[in-house]
A and B are shown apart, each in its own frame.
Chain A
Amino acid sequence: MKQYIVAVLVRNQAGVLNRVTSMFRRRQFNIDMLTVCETESPDYSRITIRFHGDPRLKQQIIDQLYKLPIVCSIQELKPDTAVCRELLLVKVANDPSTRSDILAAVEAYEAKSVDYTRDSIVIQLTGDTGRIDAFINLMRDYKILEICRTGVVALERGSGTIRQDANS
């Protein structure tokens, strides 16, 4: 089983996310992560999906996505040729006995504490999935109150864009 990231450029219309996720649901393809946002053009949205499977499943997913008329372009993003980032917000208990260890970890990871109260600290971290996972793992030594992460967003390195990748 391999992890894959594909970016899907779709027409920016009501219900478009539903059409894409409905295809995944209907064929029992599992989505690990998903992000959606408007693009540089208000006519298009970009959906970034991470899933796992074998190369045949990946090809089937891409082929099935291309059958949706609202899909304009699809690009597979590979970690070594793309910038892949996630944003993490984690709320940990602000306990005097562990506070300095937590703040040391924040510094080591170049994370940021974005909210600080007597009882809790909210830490913000961006990075690739491995880095986010490692930081969460580290925080498990302390008391995690709540976690929220965005799922991956990704852009190909260099000047190429998803639109030039259309129908390849």
Chain B
Amino acid sequence: MLLSGSDIVVRTLIEQGCEVVFGYPGGQIINVYDSLYKYQDELRHVLTAHEQGATHAADGYARATGKVGVVIATSGPGATNLVTGIATAFLDSVPMVAITGNVPSYQIGTDSFQEIDITGITLPITKHNYFVGSVETLADTIREAFQLAMSGRPGPVLIDIPKDVQVAKCEYEPRLPVGPEPNHAAKDVRIEEAAKCINDAQRPFIYFGGGLITSRAQDELLALADKIDAPVGCSLMGISGLPTDHPRFLGMQGMHGRYASSMAMHHADCIIALGARFNDRVTGNRAKFAVNTKIVHIDVDGSELGKTVNAANGLRGDIKLTLQKLLPLIRPTKRPQWHEEVEGFRNAETHDTVPSTDMTPKNAILTLNKHLNENTPVATDVGQHQMWAAQNLFFRRSRRFLSSGGLGTMGFGMGAAIGAQTGTGEHAVLITGDGSFGMCLNELATAVTYKVPLVILILNNGVLGMVRQWQTLFFDKHYSNTILDRKTNFVRLAEAFGGQGEAVASLEELDQALSRAFAANGPYVIDCAIDKDEFVLPMLPPGGSMDDIIVKVGD
């Protein structure tokens, strides 16, 4: 049938199984919005307060569902407002398709009103991007973008569509939804070498990242861990990949990782890394990291193998398929001595914490845990609260922890939580800080409009806590621009937006407030006052090694 470009955009999105898009209209995307109006029964559009919120929402939707998140914006500022959200998705390998309008082709290059070179701007933060030159290529470009976004290591793809292409007409034939390109296991010879390396190890440790969740390889990972009797840790992106209380799981590792997890990795003689990329936040000083340790590194993105640390065995391939071929080659072994050593690390960790009923950040998260069910998506922003959440949240299933790991985007959480709620239908949670919340709190308007059931827990210490922590430890307590003292009343702010809220000062009050919040049909802000001198511990100082780990800060 003969359709306009804008109709083709919407029809192709529907054809590809897209149920909801997040976005914001504008002059050069107005035709697409007219088509969204026309097909509103088949494709839902969520209007955010700001384009940045729309990208984070598409991102959160994708993280929580595993499907491709779609965001639509106009040209110029609409497009540039997507940049932080696209970069966030890129660094965390989240499948996303961003669609932007642009000025008509004949005006491109003339610096016309709201014209910006968004394909140029997003070149280093997308897997690929397209400038659509003719309406005839439009549908296939969108299909290709979907496939690219979800194939291999997922990531964002941007499609820039000039206005004349949205207006022009051509024949459109619906197609079946594209799937990801087929995955492959690593080469047999590499798998055999890796098996030898693992069979020779005395103290193996399994470290996984977000790639494990993408590959859905949890069963294979646990089978391997059981076979070689190894403890398991993860990066920030791996959180929720395994149930928090799994007996082999030691938790997150790295700069603010759990002590036992970091120690076990440090003392291992063989690290088996699955879909993780040895980021500097994980390794600390690379020259001192895993010096006498063999590394077996499995990743679908070959460029990660040997990028930051030298992997003795780099295996390019899908984790699940590769582990399935690797497992039969692994000799079952019990390692009581290594097991005992790891238990020692674990005990050292639990002995360190005295249970209390004080309103500490940790206790606040533990109180929240009691209100979560296995499907509750929990988003965070970035900073101290993010690390406390990562250390203490309890998860039973994957894709329920949404956090900006690679880019570390303050302001990510509000949009992400809205997107995750939209995708899962579950009552969602945002754990944030007063600093991060200030960045994108305008999305409260979105949550109110769409009655998004969302508990917003603000760990409010009146400071930019993570930077302040560094200033305390490494900058002689020069608190340069980290004391907020803003006088914002978050409860009245929530009310002003049309939501609800309350402030709490004790764990008991928090517990009761959470009950009310989870019963509310819309956003509910809980302003939870915590001490500004709380630290995220343990801490590996930047550029340090496990020998420099800080577990306690003297008063």
Contact = CB atoms under 8 A, between A and B. Distances in A.
A59 B124 CA distance: 20
Contacts of B120: 18
Interface string B295-306: 000000111011
B47 interface: no
B306 A56 contact: yes
A118 B123 CA distance: 50
Interface in B272-315: 301-303, 305-307, 310
Given A15-B119, A69-B148, A60 B124 contact: no
A23 B124 CA distance: 7
A66 B302 contact: yes
Interface string A11-27: 00011001100110010
B148 A60 contact: no
Contact of B301 (A18, A22, A67, A69): A67
Contacts of B302: 63, 66
Contact of B307 (A26, A60, A68): A60
B306 A26 contact: no
A22 B123 CA distance: 8
B180 to A, nearest CB: 14
A14 B109 CA distance: 14
A64 interface: yes
Contacts of B148: 69
Contacts of A60: 303, 306-307
Interface string A45-89: 000000000001001100110111110000000000000000000
26 contacts: A14-B131, A18-B120, A18-B123, A19-B123, A22-B123, A22-B124, A23-B124, A26-B124, A56-B306, A56-B310, A60-B303, A60-B306, A60-B307, A63-B302, A63-B303, A63-B305, A64-B303, A66-B302, A66-B303, A67-B301, A67-B303, A68-B128, A69-B127, A69-B128, A69-B148, A70-B128
Chain B interface: which size bin? Answer: 10 to 19
B331 to A, nearest CB: 31
Contacts of B305: 63
**Which range holds the interface residue count of chain A?**
10 to 19
A114 B301 CA distance: 50
A59 B307 CA distance: 9
A60 B302 CA distance: 9
What is the interface of chain A mostly: helix, strand, loop, or mixed?
helix
Nearest to B301: A67
A154 to B, nearest CB: 24
Interface in A1-40: 14-15, 18-19, 22-23, 26
Nearest to A70: B128
Q: Which 9 A-B pairs have the closest CB atoms?
A: A63-B303, A26-B124, A69-B128, A63-B302, A22-B123, A64-B303, A56-B306, A60-B307, A67-B303
A86 to B, nearest CB: 29
Contacts of A23: 124
Given A56-B310, A63-B302, A66-B302, 15 more contacts: A15-B119, A18-B120, A18-B123, A19-B123, A22-B124, A26-B124, A60-B303, A60-B307, A63-B303, A63-B305, A66-B303, A68-B128, A69-B127, A69-B148, A70-B128
Contacts of B301: 67
Nearest to B128: A69
Interface string B129-171: 0010000000000000000100000000000000000000000
